[in-house]
Amino acid sequence: MKSVIIIVLLSGIVFVSPAMGDGASEESPCLKAFSQPSVRKAFDGSKDEKEPASINYVDSDSKGTFYSIDVGLKVKGCEKETDKVSWSISPSVEFHRSSEREKNVNKKSFALNGESFIGPLKHYGADGSPMKDLDQPRAKIAAPFFLVKTKGTRDSEAHTATASIQALASAFSLRPGLPGRITPAGFRYYPYIGLEYLDQLPVKQGTVVLAHEFSGSFALVRLYAEWYPLRLIHYDRLQIIGTYTYRELLGGKGLDDGNPALFTLGVNLFLNNDETIALGWQLEDGRGPDLGFRDERAVSVTFRVKIGA
Encode 78-125 in three state secondary structure: EEEECCCEEEEEEEEEEEEEECCHHHCEEEEEEEEEEEEEECCECCEC
Tell me, what's the pLDDT at 191? 94
- Distance between CA atoms of residues 282 and 266, nearest Å: 4
- Distance between CA atoms of residues 53 and 71, nearest Å: 5
The torsion defined by the Cα of 192, 195, 198 and 204, in degrees rounded to 10, comes to 40
pLDDT tens for 184-217 read 999 999 999 999 998 876 665 556 666 667 788 9
Tell me, what's the pLDDT at 221? 96
Task: Judge whether 69 lies within some domain.
Answer: yes
Counts of helices then strands in the chain (DSSP H, E): 0, 17
Task: Judge whether 172 lies within some domain.
Answer: yes
Tell me, what's the pLDDT at 187? 94
**Regions of the chain with pLDDT less than 50:** 1-25, 61, 307-309
Q: Domain with 211 in it: what CATH number?
A: 2.40.160
Tell me, what's the pLDDT at 307? 47
Which of 245, 124, 224 is closest to 179 using CA atoms? 224
Residue range(s) defining the domain that contains residue 233: 4-16+32-305
Q: Structural domain tally of the chain?
A: 1
Task: Judge whether 21 lies within some domain.
Answer: no
Tell me, what's the pLDDT at 220? 95
Q: Give the chain's end-to-end CA distance (angstroms, integer).
A: 37
Task: Judge whether 149 lies within some domain.
Answer: yes
pLDDT tens for 56-80 read 665 554 555 667 777 777 777 777 7
